[in-house]
Chains A and B, each alone.
Chain A
Amino acid sequence: MPPSPNALPLTEPTLLILLSLSPGPKHGYAIMKEVETLSGGRVRLSTGTLYGALKRLLDEDWIVRVDDPEPNGTDRERKAYSLTDQGRYLLKAEVDRLHKLVSVAKLRVVET
């Protein structure tokens, strides 16, 4: 079932978390690093914000817990997170929305 249109727009941390999960499953620390990289060091998530967002995304069924694809041997129960079909659909919808917005903004900026 496609997510409700009310879910959009996403907040910046949520969008970045979903984007970081887009290539494949990641564990919490990897998501944190990826978000920092994607935002050019501008968004640095605290663990509270990260796991608060992850919980919300899990509750909405936009992501799921999976086994860590890169177990490091020390953390016995390290879990990774992966996008669900719903999550992927929502991310695409948000990227399309932003793309349209940027297109319109660019036209306006060129016109002026």
Chain B
Amino acid sequence: MNTPLALGLYRCLLAFYPTGFRTEFEAEMKAVFTQALVEKRASAVCLLWRELRDCPGMVWRTHLTERRERMTPTSSIQAQTRPAHSLVTASSWRDACLAALAFLIYLWYSAAGVILSALSEPLHLTRNMQSRITGYVAGVILAVDLIVVLLSWRRGWPRWSLPYLGVVLTWLVLVFQSLIKNDGSLLIFTALLVALIIILLAALGSWWKGLHSFYERLHRDWTLFGLVYLSYTPWVFIFMLDETRYQTTGTLLSSAILSLGVLFYLRCTRLGWQALVLPVAYTAASLVATYYLKAYGIYWQPFFESGHFDMLTIMLLLAIAPLLVVGFFELGRYAFNRWLQAA
């Protein structure tokens, strides 16, 4: 085996060591290995085999040591301070209100439908949506949405803009569904598709510069996934309450609850509260919507056995899925660190 190849393989082995260890010793280790190769103290294969044999144990040990060092507070101030990851920066009131408005977009649409359609049939909103005038209104709202999304893209996806992205994705998925002749009754299909697109965008952002800030933002705070995703839910309430007497009231109340949830979410300074606010707002909004379904009397079967309950629960689980995954991961890490401290 020639020297450059042996050195290349050795460099690959060094990559497994933790960063701190490499910063401190990598240059020296390379120099020692090179000298051993040059002085032919043993064959290159033999030297490499020796390194390979000891590598797993040493890598494991050095990683443990480095981790333990990181966990040890270096000063009393550090020991007393709350861990940085549990604190988040609250958005301004203006940004929080802007984000909350995204959840009311469907209401603007419905309100426009009510105003513009004949007064004799003001409550059949879904039918009104199909009319030409409400079509124009929908077009204007979508155009505004798209502009907001494009602007926020240029500004590195500020948090307040994320619900607008969710709204645009919902529109795109609905258009796609109409193209494949799905009338939108399969709400869970739409919900899954929206969630999948958000995950794909985040994954794309890990290597494509254009979406890198979106990926970074979600990677730092996985609760933001719920913020994007839940902007799809007002659609669900519209479909659920479609053609019922309480469509406007139900949708208004549910969307208002979601908006309030978003407002609190963006004003929160604690990650724990943030993680809680959105699921709670969503659950409350769902309960209000289903209450109106019951009141209208179209619920002949118990709610908990109905298809709506399944769908709403699946949507809630989808909204908090990344958070659950990260939560379990953090829990595992916490347990591991405790074990490490005890060992």
Chain A positions within 8 Å of B, measured between CB atoms, are: 28-29, 32-33, 44, 46-52, 54-56, 59, 75, 77-79
How far in angstroms is the closest Cβ of chain A from B8? Answer: 15
A56 near B29 (CB under 8 angstroms)? Answer: no
- Chain B 122-159 per-residue mask, 1 if CB under 8 angstroms from chain A, else 0: 00000000000000000000000000000000000000
**B121 in the interface (beta carbon within 8 A):** no
* Size class of the contact patch on chain B: 20 to 34
A46 near B54 (CB under 8 angstroms)? Answer: yes
Chain A to chain B contacts (Cβ below 8 Å), 30 pairs:
A28-B29, A28-B31, A29-B31, A29-B35, A32-B36, A33-B41, A44-B42, A46-B54, A46-B58, A47-B29, A47-B51, A48-B13, A48-B29, A48-B51, A48-B58, A48-B59, A49-B54, A49-B58, A50-B32, A51-B21, A51-B25, A51-B28, A51-B29, A55-B62, A55-B65, A59-B65, A75-B31, A78-B28, A78-B31, A79-B28
How far in angstroms is the closest Cβ of chain B from A63? Answer: 14
Q: Across the interface, which residues of B come within 8 angstroms of A32, CB to CB?
A: 32, 36
User: Known pairs A29-B35, A75-B31, A79-B28. 11 more at Cβ < 8 A?
Assistant: A29-B31, A46-B51, A46-B54, A47-B51, A48-B58, A51-B29, A52-B61, A52-B62, A54-B25, A55-B24, A55-B65
**B108 in the interface (beta carbon within 8 A):** no
**Alpha-carbon gap, A4 to B7, bound state (A):** 40
**B239 in the interface (beta carbon within 8 A):** no
A48 near B65 (CB under 8 angstroms)? Answer: no
**B246 in the interface (beta carbon within 8 A):** no
Determine chain B's interface SS by DSSP, over half rule. Answer: helix
How far in angstroms is the closest Cβ of chain A from B126? Answer: 68
B28 near A46 (CB under 8 angstroms)? Answer: no
Q: Across the interface, which residues of B come within 8 angstroms of A77, CB to CB?
A: 27
**B6 in the interface (beta carbon within 8 A):** no
Q: Across the interface, which residues of B come within 8 angstroms of A47, CB to CB?
A: 29, 32-33, 36, 51
Select which of B24, B35, B53, B61 is within 8 A of A46 by beta carbon: B53
**Most chain A CB within a 10 A radius of its CB, from B17, B25, B32, B35:** B32
**B50 in the interface (beta carbon within 8 A):** yes
